[in-house]
Amino acid sequence: MQDRPRVWETSAHPRIYESKFATGEAQISLSLAQLLSSWAHWNEGERVQFAQAFAGKRTLTVEDEEVVEFLMQQSDERIAISIALLTTMHHFGWEIRVRQNSI
């Protein structure tokens, strides 16, 4: 059975989804290879939903950064908008590692 996201409904907002990446409930490690396997079968809406959920991550592992790089390469502007803040965290983390390695 597929794990379902939490969904709230209010009169002002018909549906509000909560990302398990954001809450820390997503106890998965997703490699780029795993994502690519699923990505090929997803429609545009599912791809955007994934990007929106993934953007809720509070910390990035090396594998997560590979996923961010992949998402940054997508031509769908909705994906770019969804991960905009995540890309700054990715860039900042990369910059710190570069500086530490050059010392």
pLDDT per position as a tens digit, 38-48: 999 999 999 99
Does 97 score more than 70 pLDDT?
Answer: no
- Residue spans per domain, the chain: 30-102
HEC string of the chain? CCCCCEEECCCCCCCEEECHHHHCCCCCCCCHHHHHHHHCCCCHHHHHHHHHHHCCCCCCCHHHHHHHHHHHCCCCHHHHHHCHHHHHHHHHHHHHHHHHHHC
pTM value? 0.67
Indicate the average pLDDT of the chain. 76
pLDDT at 82: 92
Q: Tell me what percent of the residues of the chain surpass a pLDDT of 70.
A: 58
pLDDT in tens, 4-31: 445 545 566 556 566 666 666 655 668 9
State mean pLDDT over 72-90: 90
- 24-28, 77-81, 83-87 — most confident range: 77-81
